[in-house]
């Protein structure tokens, strides 16, 4: 793992967490909480944890990156079913990018 990979992963995790939380809020305020909200909640939590562990140089960071990539892909799949919502479309793109960056770090 290079410093560039680490920095890109940290930024992707921060962005993903933010977009997932925004997606949840958007769905809730519209009165139509989508089925993907639970995935977004899990994804935001694991992305935040990933940022913490990576930032602290934790020995468990790489394992968490693998899990984060898996959860990000599941979230992207769930949000892709809600393609009529802009927040979900944005969430799909952000989750896929985060999964890619986590895979690079965990490799």
Please state the domain extents for the chain. Answer: 3-106
What topology is assigned to 3-106 in CATH?
Substrate Binding Domain Of Dnak; Chain:A; Domain 2 (1.20.1270)
- pTM greater than the 0.95 cutoff: no
- Taking the C-alpha atoms of residue 53 and residue 84, their distance in angstroms, rounded to an integer, is 35
CA angle 71, 72, 75 (to 5 degrees): 85
Helix (H), strand (E), coil (C) string for 30-82: CCCCCCCHHHHHHHHHHHHHHHHHHHCCCCCHHHHHHHHHHHHHHHHHHHHCC
Residue with more model confidence, 35 or 52: 52
- Reported as a pLDDT band with limits 50, 70 and 90, residue 22 is very high
């Amino acid at each position: 793992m290079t410093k560039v990979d680490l920095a890109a992963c940290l930024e992707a995790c921060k962005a993903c967490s933010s977009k997932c939380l925004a997606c949840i809020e958007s769905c809730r305020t519209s009165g139509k909480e989508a089925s993907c909200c639970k995935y977004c909640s899990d994804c935001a939590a694991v992305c935040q944890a990933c940022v913490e562990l990576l930032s602290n140089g934790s020995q468990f960071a790489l394992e968490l990156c693998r899990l984060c990539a898996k959860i990000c892909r599941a979230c992207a799949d769930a949000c892709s079913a809600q393609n009529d919502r802009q927040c979900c479309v944005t969430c799909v793109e952000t989750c896929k990018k985060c999964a890619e960056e986590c895979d690079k770090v965990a490799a």
